[in-house]
Structure 1
């Protein structure tokens, strides 16, 4: 029984240690997943910023039926100043390159037939077949380095028809610096605590080829996998943490205690076994002596009744031992009257103590949720019930395991999946979900919704001149002000580096949306204070209305983006204006 209890106690200690180790591992994995979600958000944000940058140029060509070389160079130069990821901007009327900026170093591209080109023809035909923008690559460039090729078909916008419902004009092609994208997103940082690989050439996701990092990571069971949204496709990221979950001192202490328990139990069992053997040998020796001795030896129970007599009794009295057992010992001998032998014997026997033991029977039970000290907690209990030989329950032993921290970590992971890691605002995933719900309600009730697309003016000089940390604090301050300018039922989302979207769940007309935009201007007007610096950041805002300007979120975003770009272009990038799409 002692060995069983010792092993059970050791197992209980080991189980507690393993449970703690499991919780430590879960916490470590949740922290690493949180870091990777931040990297993914950086990668998606930087890439989307580069992709969306040229939307205004495409809209200009579509509305005006083309563009002159001088105007093209002016607009392209402005766009190239904003972001460093674009290698060049190319326009190809009828799929033949006619304009490229910068021209220097790219002269040979003029006159290139993209549709019939042996390398770029496949991607061009894919763009025409899908009738939408495509992201190809990464590919090796003749000029050196690697790039993602963003191709956008351009359809003309007739004055009497919907936007871009006219004939096909040609395409715009922009190489995006792939190595620069990885660097800006932090994937090449030497302090990164992961080995990372990417697959999904041409946005083919898990089915695409590996284009960066060690392909073996995708077969490693310990690697963490995440999907990255890139335009109309996706990439798959496999990341293997370089560190390992730290096993706390408590876990090692539990293991050491379990080993010690087993060793102590083994030593006690061996000692008791040795004592039992000696006792057995001693009893056999004493029985042999008792049966050989010529004097009478007897043994009684607690009540003084005889339970043993040696053979000398029969030799002396002539009476069989079996006929004398059960009598009080004073009834078998002669005692002088008044000697008090019975009283002294009764007192001696009443002072004796008799010990007994119970055998435990273990079983497991699970209990419901409970409150501890006013804090809501989730508890799991494993219990053992001890029963005596009569079957009555004597006690219960239980272990309570608090899994509240695990639930908080899971909630944190869910929050990171739906919110921007810097500002805490909704990301594109949450924005799309809330739009879908709001759109269904708007269709049933017959009211309108509005999308406000905001692009910050004057943010890049802050980011470049004062550093990314200051820029991040400015963005967080902008996000807080935007939240204060709308209703609780509306949604504020960050969709790019300095680009925000506000979804107004219910408006009567575009005038209501314009009123909110004006309120946003007022909220952003006061200078932002970061440390000892004061920054003035304003925004260009474009408005689109559901269902007037589109029935899907993508359509409304594109319409609002076009409106924002027209305002930004008309005001030379320094004026806050609002027009509807």
Structure 2
């Protein structure tokens, strides 16, 4: 092939030799096809390599270079470029010698001139390896994203373990006390109620003696699940230690707290813990106090709830007692 682009395609002599050499060096094949005959009339030096052609491209048709399905797709792309009357870019996946190659092809229709009929100037770039790298990059990024999610989940679990009891899954005392202080401050600013519930498991010593020491952990696990299931995300159920628990019910008054905790009491009394082939029933005693109606300070609120819970235990357990409402005499 002559070095000059004008030599093999005179109508496009405006494309200088430097451009042709640049395209050739970058692996972009330039081809010219006669639309009347469908045969390629010119091809840049790198075209056979780019198209993985085992025969000379010049003088061949799409049907002679590619299979029938691919030839039809290429012909349709040529016709679309002609219909648009301007440059047109498309993508083609072509099977070459048992391997699928991917190409980006730019087409530009060239009107008939002199003795030459209408033609298509096309530039072919093999992007197979680039697409493989893109797929690898996307897979790597997806893997990194999954790893980041796993690391974030691990960090959340580690942070959660610092504020939650390992057996019940409920908050530790320190986290509960922090939430309690925040709720008390919010209540004072916005003049709204909140409630505290003291909870103890009835007859824990008898459960231990009857079913073994490990059975107590299974009961604590069960109560932890029931407490989480019967409270909201804004509430703070906590295990104080042993058989003692407490719940902060955010933004609710004494009546609402009573209704919710009565539902929990019944759920506990109907729950059976399976352990070593045995069925362990358990009940709880509860005391409910609210701020500011049954206590004017956080410390008194906790004592008020504990006194109400002790009253429930004194009645034989499986009971819920409301703390007494304070009556402030009018001045």
- TM-score normalized by the length of structure 1: 0.30
Identify which of 223, 226, 235 aligns with 1:478: 223
The offset of 1:576, in angstroms, is 1.5
Q: Closer, same or farther in 2 for the Cα pair 1:418/1:461, shift >3 Å?
A: same
| 1:512 matched residue in structure 2 | 256
Gap runs ≥5 in structure 1: 1-369, 379-402
Q: Closer, same or farther in 2 for the Cα pair 1:484/1:520, shift >3 Å?
A: same
Cα distance in 1 for residues equivalent to 2:264 and 2:271:
14
Tell whether the 8 Å contact from 1:542 to 1:579 is kept in structure 2 after alignment. yes
| 2:209 matched residue in structure 1 | 464
Runs of 4+ residues deviating >6 angstroms: none
**1:375 corresponds to 2:145:** yes
Q: Closer, same or farther in 2 for the Cα pair 1:541/1:409, shift >3 Å?
A: same
| 1:393 matched residue in structure 2 | none
Q: Secondary structure at the match of 1:541?
A: strand
Tell whether the 8 Å contact from 2:168 to 2:221 is kept in structure 1 after alignment. yes
Q: Secondary structure at the match of 1:372?
A: helix
| 2:239 matched residue in structure 1 | 494
Cα distance in 2 for residues equivalent to 1:466 and 1:452:
28
The offset of 1:416, in angstroms, is 2.3
Q: Secondary structure at the match of 1:518?
A: helix
| 1:576 matched residue in structure 2 | 319
Q: What does 1:77-476 correspond to in 2, within 5 Å?
A: 371-373=141-143, 375-377=145-147, 410-476=155-221
The offset of 1:492, in angstroms, is 1.0
The offset of 1:462, in angstroms, is 1.4
Cα distance in 2 for residues equivalent to 1:492 and 1:371:
40
Cα distance in 2 for residues equivalent to 1:456 and 1:431:
19
Q: Secondary structure at the match of 2:246?
A: strand
Q: Secondary structure at the match of 1:506?
A: coil
Cα distance in 2 for residues equivalent to 1:371 and 1:429:
40
Q: Closer, same or farther in 2 for the Cα pair 1:411/1:505, shift >3 Å?
A: same
| 2:294 matched residue in structure 1 | 549
Identify which of 261, 265, 269 aligns with 1:525: 269
Q: Closer, same or farther in 2 for the Cα pair 1:455/1:404, shift >3 Å?
A: closer
Cα distance in 2 for residues equivalent to 1:453 and 1:440:
21
Tell whether the 8 Å contact from 1:525 to 1:537 is kept in structure 2 after alignment. yes
Q: Closer, same or farther in 2 for the Cα pair 1:373/1:452, shift >3 Å?
A: same
Q: Secondary structure at the match of 2:319?
A: coil
Q: Secondary structure at the match of 1:375?
A: helix
Identify which of 284, 287, 296 aligns with 1:539: 284
Q: Closer, same or farther in 2 for the Cα pair 1:575/1:411, shift >3 Å?
A: closer
Two-structure CA RMSD over aligned residues (Å): 2.5
Q: Secondary structure at the match of 2:310?
A: helix
Q: Closer, same or farther in 2 for the Cα pair 1:440/1:506, shift >3 Å?
A: same
Cα distance in 1 for residues equivalent to 2:141 and 2:242:
44
Give CA deviations for 1:316-366 in whole Å, capped at 9, x if unaligned. Answer: xxxxxxxxxxxxxxxxxxxxxxxxxxxxxxxxxxxxxxxxxxxxxxxxxxx
- TM-score normalized by the length of structure 2: 0.50
Cα distance in 1 for residues equivalent to 2:156 and 2:230:
27
Q: Secondary structure at the match of 1:577?
A: strand
Cα distance in 2 for residues equivalent to 1:557 and 1:579:
13
Tell whether the 8 Å contact from 1:492 to 1:503 is kept in structure 2 after alignment. yes
| 1:559 matched residue in structure 2 | 304
Tell whether the 8 Å contact from 1:485 to 1:523 is kept in structure 2 after alignment. no
Cα distance in 1 for residues equivalent to 2:305 and 2:174:
19
The offset of 1:415, in angstroms, is 2.0
The offset of 1:408, in angstroms, is 5.8
